[in-house]
Structure formats: C-alpha cells, structure tokens
Amino acid sequence: MRMNIKEVWEGVGAGQRHWNRCPAVKKNEELIDRCLEKIDIDTEGSIVDWGCGGGYLSRRVGCKKVHFVDIVTEHLEGLGDKNADYFDEIEVHDVSDNIQLDLSGEIEVLIAFSILYHMPSLNYVRGVVEEWERIQPKYILIRSLFMEGPSWESPYAIYFNYLRGNLFNKNEFLSMFPSYTVLLDKPVYGVGGSLNDVHGTFQHGLAPHSSRMLILERRND
C-alpha cells in the first residue's frame, strides 16, 4: 500500500501539480495567512510541513528552520535548493516507509494542508496523528475535508491520478488529540468557491461533508 501511494504521488509530481504555485496552492497560502492572524509563534523556531508540496506554505510562515515531510523522494531532494532563500535551515524527511521523524528542539507549528484526505485509511491517519502528538508542535494547522456523518473510508482507488478522498468525521478525528484544544474551526472554499470534484467525493452519494480549516493549540496543562 505505501509503495502504491508513493507511486501515485510520483505521477502527480510528474505533472508538477502542487509543486508549482498553482491556484490551489495560492488559495492555501491565503488560508495560512488567516491562520497566522490567530496564532503567536516565535519565528526563530521551526516548522514541520507534512505533505509539503513545493514548500510554499512554510515560506509564508517565515520561521528560520523547516522540516519538509513528503513521500516523493526525488521531489524532496530538490526542495533544499528551491527554498534556500527562505530559511536558514532546511531538513527533508521521506515518510514513504517510516512516519516517525527524528527531530530535535521545539516545533512552533505543524502544517497539514490538503493532505489528510489523500491518506489511504483512517488507520494510517491514526498513526500519523500519534506521531504529531509525540512531536508536540505548539500549533497544528489543518485544511481537509470532513464528514458531518459517520466515518467513511474510501476503498483504495486512484481517481484522476489522485488517491480518492478518504473522509472521516471531524469529531472522531479531533478525539485523537488529547493534548490539543481547537482554537479555530471554519468552513473554507476551494478555487472557484466550491469543493473540488477531482477528489472523487461526489461520485459516491456521500453524506454531507465540508472543507474546513482547523487550528489546534497545544494545552499547557
């Protein structure tokens, strides 16, 4: 399974989608700006950008150090040069075989934009969230699609060269974060103002779902 999702994303990368500053990336940059108005981060610190694409969202945050996390090895290799003007320090982490990161120091913010619904199963997402809970960033910024009804898992499928959207209930997702509270939870819209049917979510007669932006803040207790 892991090998398959890596191959899918190598194919997406070959089309340069999300590794150039396409309209979908620009939309996410705007949403990152909205998140930054709500949070208080030390720009001397570090970012973890999970499913980083070209790294554009991290550039927006402006911290000194970034950990770019992705599953396309070849693409990760180019990120250092591409982003050299924006950070003092860049580390890349290939999570195609192992989702545990070897990090040191405090993480100010973890970005997970347009990535959770591309993960292959809710179980996989649970493993990733466990790793985020271990890393303990001060803030976690999320953009994803969430179901308003019960959990739903897509059978593994490739749709327009993407992994078809894997959706799950927002409250179930949030219950995986014992160390965080929700600072912001808002519906957001994609390019053109609607959910993007490239994720294949319209084909299944799904219960209502929405694209949302979440800010989770680490508890201090």
User: Which residues contact ligand SAM by CB under 6 A?
Assistant: 5, 9, 18, 25, 28, 50-53, 57, 69-72, 95, 113-115, 118-119
Q: Which is nearer to ligand SAM, 18 or 164 (CB)?
A: 18
CA distance 149 to 126: 19
Q: Please state, in angstroms and rounded to a whole number, the distance separating the CA atoms of residues 179 and 108.
A: 15
| Nearest approach, Cβ of residue 174 and ligand SAM (Å) | 20
Alpha carbon 201 to chain centroid, angstroms: 18
Least Cα distance to 90 among 118, 49, 51, 125 occurs for: 49
218: CB partners within 8 A, 6+ apart: 136, 137, 138, 139, 179, 180
Helical spans, DSSP H, in the chain: 2-14, 23-36, 56-61, 73-82, 122-135, 170-174
Nearer to ligand SAM, 51 or 165 (CB): 51
The nearer residue to ligand SAM, 60 or 65, going by C-beta atoms, is 60
Q: Cβ of residue 220: shortest distance to ligand SAM, in angstroms?
A: 28
Closest CB to ligand SAM among residues 20, 181: 20
Q: How far is the CB of 119 from ligand SAM (least distance, A)?
A: 5
CB of 74 to ligand SAM, least distance (A): 11
Min separation Cβ 54 and ligand SAM, Å: 7
CB 75 within 8 A of CB 96: no
Nearer to ligand SAM among residue 119 and residue 221 (C-beta): 119
